[in-house]
Amino acid sequence: MNPILNRNSFFVKEHTGVFKASNNYDIFDPEGDHTDPIIKCREVNLSGFAKLLRFNKDYKRMTPFEIVLTDKQDNKVLTVKRGWTFWRSEVEVLDENDQLIGTMRQKLLSLGGRFRVFDVNETEICQLQGKWTSWEFSFQKEDVQLALVSKKFAGMAKELFTTADNYLLTIDPRVVENSVARTLIMASVMSIDMVLKE
């Protein structure tokens, strides 16, 4: 696991764009320079047909995606990917060596949105639960909150005329360093935007 994931807070900023098919993000140190990302997240391998469907609100959530996260040295941190879907999303998470380390499975008919997060052995690591009354998501393991994702206001012009969002991810220090849980939590943040909020 890349040591950058042992941090406990990340500021996730989506690239702005009025007419954009692919989704790209930069991740910053919340306390540091917001012009120099510590992680870059780029959507790759998006076919022309999928790009075309991205401009239709009804079909956008069905399209596949593959987001590759890299550090400042352009080392791969992880990959988050999903194929075509019609009802329920299942998202795969690959490590820096493109080995499957876990999956996220969307639960249907849940207020605010919910994922169950599994490691490669099908052990449930946590659940990602959204609140329908606010833009906030928590990672829960039984009654313990492992992490929290909250939306940061992007500015009136961006909010009105683009789909770009900013998020703050805060991971509880009790989540063990170098654990698969940390990698899956980071991957889940990408899934929130691509699956639940598009």
DSSP 100-164: EEEEEEEPSS-TT-EEEEEETTS-EEEEEEE-TTSSEEEEEETTEEEEEEEEE---HHHHHH---
Return the CATH number at 185: 2.40.160
Considering only residues 162 and 38, tell me which one the structure prediction assigns the higher pLDDT.
Answer: 38
Q: Which amino acid is at 38?
A: I
pLDDT at 123 over 80: yes
Q: Which residue has the higher pLDDT, 17 or 68?
A: 68
pLDDT over 90 at 136, yes or no: no
pLDDT at 161 over 50: no
Sign of CA dihedral 49, 54, 56, 59: positive
Count of the separate structural domains present in the chain: 1
pLDDT at 7 over 70: yes
Average pLDDT of the chain is 84
Measured between alpha carbons, how far is residue 35 from residues 11, 40, 152, 166, 186 in Å?
Answer: 12, 12, 17, 14, 20
- B/e letters for 9-26, b = 16+ CB within 10 Å, e = fewer, are ebbbbbeeeeebbbbebb
0.75 exceeded by pTM: yes
Q: What is the pLDDT of residue 77?
A: 97
pLDDT of residue 81: 95
Structural domain range at position 45? 3-196
* Residue type (1 letter), 39: I
